[in-house]
Chains A and B, each alone.
Chain A
Amino acid sequence: MTSPILTLPFIALLLLPSAASAGETLTAPAKPFLAIEEVKSPGGLTAWLVEDHTLPIVSLTFLFNDAGSARDPRDRQGLARMVSNTLDEGAGDLDSQAFQKALSDHSISLSFSASRDDLAGSLKTLTRHQDKAFDLLRLALTQPRFDAEAIERMRAANISRIRSSMTEPEWIAARLLNDLSYGDHPYALNSGGTITSLNAITRDDLAGFVKNNLSRDRLLIGVTGDITPGKLAITLDQVFSTLPAASTAQTLTDAGIGHLGQTYLYKKDIPQSIIQMVQPGLDFKDPDYYAAYVMNHILGASGFGSRLTEEIREKRGLTYGIYSSIFDMDHAHGFTIGLSTENKNAAEALRLIRAEIRKMQDHPVSAQELADAQSYIVGALPLSFSSTAAISANVLGLRQDNWPMDYYDHFPSRIRAVTAADIQRVAKRILTPDNMLTVIVGQPEGVDAETLPPALPNVE
């Protein structure tokens, strides 16, 4: 994101699930769920394309593997994010304002973002402005200016964002959980930067990051919309071919999750306790992945209908929202639970969460619960392919996680093959209700926890 515009507290954009994509259907098994085609450019680049001429829109998404904030030096935390903020702040002959005006005059959306593992970009344009859009992307990636004015502006915006986040208890809990989880591993660092580290970042740092990380061997591309394979092949070379062929990826060790079995408290004078818990999960390439997916859905991923929501929200009114999730990054995987509850109910909520996890391990889920979960997961799949950009992002996701092109064709049968016994087995194998790392922000009553110091790690 460039040029963050403040979001007003009352202006809540409603994010709706939406659906629709080119000729996809679940009811015609002969036809693939997504008609993905691999496009190879004359210069040797590849992209996965879902061609769809319904609307005059092209969405191109891409990422550079192992170019995320895990590469930030400790004294330059936030570097990958600053790169993502400044790449579209002027390139080639265009200074920041000229570049931004070129984007908005042609109704082009271009954004970059940094995760722990990758640096990603997303370009969306009307077909009639596609050549302009591709050229601006090329400039941003290959000739970023990193003018002092833009660097200072983005630095100030990031520092302001950090200071603003410090009133948000969820943000504080997430920062602490991350820090305690990963210890000395780079994943523990603050990917948004610290006030000190952001102030230390120089133009050379930004240029060096781009030079050392944005190379063709680490590039993955997903495209959807109103573009032909032939046009895309030419475009790939135009946009990306002048990037270096290869660069040295860093060798990161895998990260475990530390402080398991411990509960930490960050005292804050607010009426609710924010509770976040984490423990190791599983690799998504593990044969138990689909069983874990359905297990997590039944336990806590689905909101209404999931056990945690039913027991803690619906029956007892102890929270407005409780969710569990499984994640798998390049060097760590995990299972997390998060909720907020009135301070006096914190101990009760923790007891109920542990009881629900044990129940998942001690008893098989009912046939009805399993069938409902499977039909939701399979039936709702098209709702995640609702727009050109959503399809493009999902296609890139397949490449990022190294799934085959026909992943979604087999997904329903693999979900439906999961049994109650599989779920109980994976719950026993993975979940450790008495050995999770727990962070609480607030003033919880009746919870035995180690109190953390008021200074947050890697924030100032």
Chain B
Amino acid sequence: MKTLCRLLAVVALLILPPLPVAAQNAAPEKVYNAERFTLKNGMEVVVIPNHRAPVVTHMLWYKVGAADEPRGLSGMAHYLEHLLFKGTPTLPPGEYSRRIRALGGDDNAFTANDYTAFFESIAVEHLETVMKMQADRMMNTSPPPADFTAEQKVVLEERRQRTENDPKGFFAEQLKALLFINHPYGIPVIGWEHEVAALAWPEIESFYKRHYGPNNAILVVSGDITAAQLKPLAERYYGPLKPIALPGRVWTKVPPMIALPQLTLHHPDIRQPLFMRIYRAPSLPQSRAEGRALSLLTEILNGSAATRLYKSIVVEKKLATSVGFDYDGIKISDGAIWISASPADGVSLETLEAAIDEELRKLIRDGVTDQELAEAKIRMQDSAAFARDSLSGPAMTVGQVLAVGLTLDDAEYWPRDIESVTRDQVQAAAKTYLDPDDIGQRPYISGYLLPEKTAAASAEPAIANTPEQP
């Protein structure tokens, strides 16, 4: 079955590009060979040529997301994204997607904490039609009341399907809310149910007028086109749009905290216990050096079934059936590191957590080896060729990088930048952000998801490996 439409991007993984292992003294090779220009009204445009087929992906990124929502109006950015499909004075509701489909194109959109993006993949000869309609809905969206109300129900159904239907989704939402106290990333992108249900068009419209304009947008087009070909089209359709007065973005911060929170949920539907932990860590825009070190650390710990965490926790110690470690650094404000693991039968979450902590202590104490570092760099650099093997993947990566305030060079020269990371930097990043014994007023949250507390469900004994009670 196809992916449900109007995606909600909570976190999009960056495809880490990388260069073919080039001679050290050669000029660094670019990953995408993108071209760029800026329109007079301030709209940024990036073109990533790829002439393998006569098709393009057109992505329009707005530098507004859930993090910009006024207090009490959560879910507004995402609901607005849905409403951009609900018509303008010259385009009836639903007509946008209908026309794209009739031209043989696919379209969709997604909202994240920091940005909102709309995209179409289509034959290059229809690009102009796409741009004309996108320019219209950037400024003129006005959903009829009946469509506004119907779409509100759709968004609430989306929330039920993603969150309320499954305790794992519900639990993760709560975990994040606790980590990002007093920070907009603690509020789910889809919004709290009671707030989404109360949203009205006038307040959404004022949010729309404040944030949607050419000088708050980045256009990324990848595929069978060059900057020279795109520029006249961009000037014709996006050029006449008037820039808006940008409000600036406000970031409240997580205050220093001293206690380590732990969240536990016993739920009747849970049959497989799950351990999760989230740390706050610097994003790449906040600290490129630390962000790169954390990206490399992620590859070293979790790059394959032959790297540290899986090898130690799953293969050797047999405490878990799976383990995950992910760094989300493509954010404007704080990044995050997620660890998760499913315990093996009869292993308590306490035992599993202790073993993961032991791995982290070892990492902080001894660092990584030269060999681990070199192998991880090669894997990341090899993925450059794979990153190019896609029409829309490069537009996604470059758009995301620019939308959070990184530069085009950060995307183009990522392999060179990764090459420069040292063992000491990796160890220091681990010590600063992952140390289970020194939280430095920067607490992480551990979550235990467990079956209902009954005599029968004593598969998670308080003491590790206690046999199950009859």
Chain A residues within CB distance 8 Å of chain B: 2-27, 54-57, 96-97, 100-101, 103-105, 107, 124, 126, 149, 153, 156-157, 159-161, 163-164, 166-169, 268, 270-272, 274, 301-305, 310, 313-321, 323, 325, 338, 340-342, 371-372, 375-383, 385-389
Asked if A100 meets B306 with Cβ closer than 8 Å, knowing A12-B12, A318-B157, the reply is yes
Q: Does B91 sit at the interface, judged by CB under 8 A? A: no
Closest Cβ–Cβ distance, residue B298 to chain A (whole Å): 12
Please indicate the chain A residues that have their CB under 8 angstroms from the CB of B392 in the complex: 16-19, 386
Asked if A12 meets B11 with Cβ closer than 8 Å, knowing A7-B324, A372-B102, the reply is yes
CB 8 Å contact bits of B136-153 with A (1 = contact, 0 = none): 000000000001011111
Asked if A315 meets B157 with Cβ closer than 8 Å, knowing A18-B393, A376-B104, the reply is no
Please indicate the chain B residues that have their CB under 8 angstroms from the CB of A310 in the complex: 94
Instruction: Select one of A149, A169, A380 contacting B104, CB under 8 A.
Output: A380
- Other A-B pairs, 19, CB within 8 Å; known A10-B338, A54-B52, A163-B272: A3-B305, A15-B3, A16-B121, A16-B392, A16-B396, A23-B52, A56-B385, A157-B322, A167-B267, A272-B161, A315-B150, A316-B150, A317-B151, A323-B2, A371-B102, A383-B106, A383-B121, A386-B390, A387-B390
Closest Cβ–Cβ distance, residue A334 to chain B (whole Å): 13
Q: Is B55 touching A5 in the complex (CB atoms < 8 A)?
A: no
Instruction: Select one of B223, B269, B310 contacting A20, CB under 8 A.
Output: B223
Please indicate the chain B residues that have their CB under 8 angstroms from the CB of A379 in the complex: 103-105, 122-123
Instruction: Select one of B172, B272, B303, B310 contacting A160, CB under 8 A.
Output: B272
Q: Is A338 touching B1 in the complex (CB atoms < 8 A)?
A: yes
Q: Is A8 touching B322 in the complex (CB atoms < 8 A)?
A: no
Q: Is B323 touching A101 in the complex (CB atoms < 8 A)?
A: no
Please indicate the chain A residues that have their CB under 8 angstroms from the CB of B305 in the complex: 2-3, 5, 96-97, 100, 104
Please indicate the chain B residues that have their CB under 8 angstroms from the CB of A314 in the complex: 93-94, 147, 150
Q: Is B164 touching A380 in the complex (CB atoms < 8 A)?
A: no
**Distance of A163 Cα from B318 Cα, bound (Å):** 18
Q: Is B149 touching A383 in the complex (CB atoms < 8 A)?
A: no
Please indicate the chain A residues that have their CB under 8 angstroms from the CB of B94 in the complex: 304-305, 310, 314
Please indicate the chain A residues that have their CB under 8 angstroms from the CB of B122 in the complex: 379
Q: Is A14 touching B101 in the complex (CB atoms < 8 A)?
A: no
Question: Which residues in window 257-292 of B have CB below 8 A to A?
Answer: 267, 269-272, 274, 276
Please indicate the chain A residues that have their CB under 8 angstroms from the CB of B310 in the complex: 3, 5
Q: Is B157 touching A320 in the complex (CB atoms < 8 A)?
A: yes
- Chain A CB within 10 Å, residue with most, of B103, B110, B382: B382
Asked if A20 meets B4 with Cβ closer than 8 Å, knowing A54-B52, A272-B157, the reply is no
A-B contact pairs, 11 of them (CB 8 A): A2-B305, A11-B11, A14-B110, A22-B52, A96-B315, A168-B166, A274-B165, A319-B157, A320-B154, A376-B102, A377-B104
Q: Does B311 sit at the interface, judged by CB under 8 A? A: yes
Q: Is B5 touching A304 in the complex (CB atoms < 8 A)?
A: yes
Asked if A57 meets B385 with Cβ closer than 8 Å, knowing A96-B315, A272-B161, A317-B151, the reply is yes
Q: Does B13 sit at the interface, judged by CB under 8 A? A: yes
Q: Does B389 sit at the interface, judged by CB under 8 A? A: yes
Q: Is A24 touching B53 in the complex (CB atoms < 8 A)?
A: yes
Please indicate the chain A residues that have their CB under 8 angstroms from the CB of B161 in the complex: 272, 320-321, 340
What 8 A-B pairs come out closest when comparing CB atoms?
A379-B104, A317-B153, A163-B272, A3-B305, A20-B52, A107-B382, A104-B304, A317-B150
Q: Does B41 sit at the interface, judged by CB under 8 A? A: no
Please indicate the chain B residues that have their CB under 8 angstroms from the CB of A270 in the complex: 164-165
Q: Does B208 sit at the interface, judged by CB under 8 A? A: no
Closest Cβ–Cβ distance, residue B13 to chain A (whole Å): 5
The closest CB in chain B to the CB of A336 belongs to B1
**Distance of A343 Cα from B256 Cα, bound (Å):** 43
**Distance of A386 Cα from B7 Cα, bound (Å):** 20
Please indicate the chain B residues that have their CB under 8 angstroms from the CB of A268 in the complex: 269
**Distance of A126 Cα from B389 Cα, bound (Å):** 11
Q: Is B322 touching A160 in the complex (CB atoms < 8 A)?
A: yes
Please indicate the chain A residues that have their CB under 8 angstroms from the CB of B311 in the complex: 97
Please indicate the chain B residues that have their CB under 8 angstroms from the CB of A318 in the complex: 153, 157
Q: Is A375 touching B157 in the complex (CB atoms < 8 A)?
A: no
Please indicate the chain A residues that have their CB under 8 angstroms from the CB of B302 in the complex: 5
Q: Does B244 sit at the interface, judged by CB under 8 A? A: no
Please indicate the chain A residues that have their CB under 8 angstroms from the CB of B225 in the complex: none
Q: Is A21 touching B53 in the complex (CB atoms < 8 A)?
A: yes
Please indicate the chain A residues that have their CB under 8 angstroms from the CB of B169 in the complex: 9
**Distance of A301 Cα from B109 Cα, bound (Å):** 19
Q: Does B345 sit at the interface, judged by CB under 8 A? A: yes
Q: Is B11 touching A317 in the complex (CB atoms < 8 A)?
A: no
**Distance of A183 Cα from B48 Cα, bound (Å):** 52
Q: Is A340 touching B385 in the complex (CB atoms < 8 A)?
A: no
CB 8 Å contact bits of B163-180 with A (1 = contact, 0 = none): 011111101100010000
Please indicate the chain A residues that have their CB under 8 angstroms from the CB of B105 in the complex: 376, 379-380
Q: Is B57 touching A9 in the complex (CB atoms < 8 A)?
A: no
**Distance of A305 Cα from B2 Cα, bound (Å):** 14
The closest CB in chain B to the CB of A304 belongs to B97
Q: Does B314 sit at the interface, judged by CB under 8 A? A: yes
Asked if A375 meets B53 with Cβ closer than 8 Å, knowing A8-B340, A18-B392, A271-B165, the reply is no
Q: Does B379 sit at the interface, judged by CB under 8 A? A: yes
The closest CB in chain A to the CB of B1 belongs to A323
Please indicate the chain A residues that have their CB under 8 angstroms from the CB of B388 in the complex: 55
Please indicate the chain A residues that have their CB under 8 angstroms from the CB of B98 in the complex: 304-305, 372
Instruction: Select one of B101, B160, B171, B390 contacting A342, CB under 8 A.
Output: B160
**Distance of A389 Cα from B52 Cα, bound (Å):** 14
Asked if A386 meets B2 with Cβ closer than 8 Å, knowing A5-B322, A6-B322, A271-B164, the reply is no
The closest CB in chain A to the CB of B55 belongs to A19
Please indicate the chain A residues that have their CB under 8 angstroms from the CB of B321 in the complex: 4, 153, 156-157, 159-161
Please indicate the chain A residues that have their CB under 8 angstroms from the CB of B417 in the complex: none
**Distance of A103 Cα from B379 Cα, bound (Å):** 10
Please indicate the chain B residues that have their CB under 8 angstroms from the CB of A303 in the complex: 2, 5
**Distance of A316 Cα from B310 Cα, bound (Å):** 47
- Chain B CB within 10 Å, residue with most, of A11, A17, A96, A389: A17
Instruction: Select one of A13, A20, A342 contacting B12, CB under 8 A.
Output: A13
Please indicate the chain B residues that have their CB under 8 angstroms from the CB of A16 in the complex: 57, 119, 121, 390, 392-393, 396
Please indicate the chain A residues that have their CB under 8 angstroms from the CB of B54 in the complex: 25-27, 382
**Distance of A308 Cα from B35 Cα, bound (Å):** 42
Please indicate the chain A residues that have their CB under 8 angstroms from the CB of B389 in the complex: 55, 57, 387-389
Instruction: Select one of B101, B166, B269 contacting A372, CB under 8 A.
Output: B101
Q: Does B386 sit at the interface, judged by CB under 8 A? A: yes
Q: Is B157 touching A9 in the complex (CB atoms < 8 A)?
A: no
Q: Is B106 touching A380 in the complex (CB atoms < 8 A)?
A: yes
Please indicate the chain A residues that have their CB under 8 angstroms from the CB of B342 in the complex: 6, 160, 164
Closest Cβ–Cβ distance, residue B159 to chain A (whole Å): 9
Q: Does B425 sit at the interface, judged by CB under 8 A? A: no
Q: Does B199 sit at the interface, judged by CB under 8 A? A: no
Question: Which residues in window 313-342 of B have CB below 8 A to A?
Answer: 314-315, 318, 321-324, 326, 328, 338, 340-342
**Distance of A20 Cα from B57 Cα, bound (Å):** 11
Closest Cβ–Cβ distance, residue A150 to chain B (whole Å): 9
Asked if A304 meets B11 with Cβ closer than 8 Å, knowing A6-B324, A21-B53, A126-B385, the reply is no
Q: Is B102 touching A313 in the complex (CB atoms < 8 A)?
A: no
- Chain B CB within 10 Å, residue with most, of A6, A156, A379: A6
Q: Does B226 sit at the interface, judged by CB under 8 A? A: no
Q: Is B165 touching A304 in the complex (CB atoms < 8 A)?
A: no
Question: Which residues in window 115-146 of B have CB below 8 A to A?
Answer: 119, 121-123
CB 8 Å contact bits of B366-383 with A (1 = contact, 0 = none): 000000000100110011
Q: Is B53 touching A25 in the complex (CB atoms < 8 A)?
A: yes
**Distance of A26 Cα from B306 Cα, bound (Å):** 44
Asked if A20 meets B303 with Cβ closer than 8 Å, knowing A271-B164, A318-B153, the reply is no
Closest Cβ–Cβ distance, residue A62 to chain B (whole Å): 20
The closest CB in chain A to the CB of B20 belongs to A56
**Distance of A21 Cα from B389 Cα, bound (Å):** 9
Q: Is B168 touching A167 in the complex (CB atoms < 8 A)?
A: yes
Asked if A321 meets B5 with Cβ closer than 8 Å, knowing A156-B344, A340-B157, A386-B391, the reply is yes
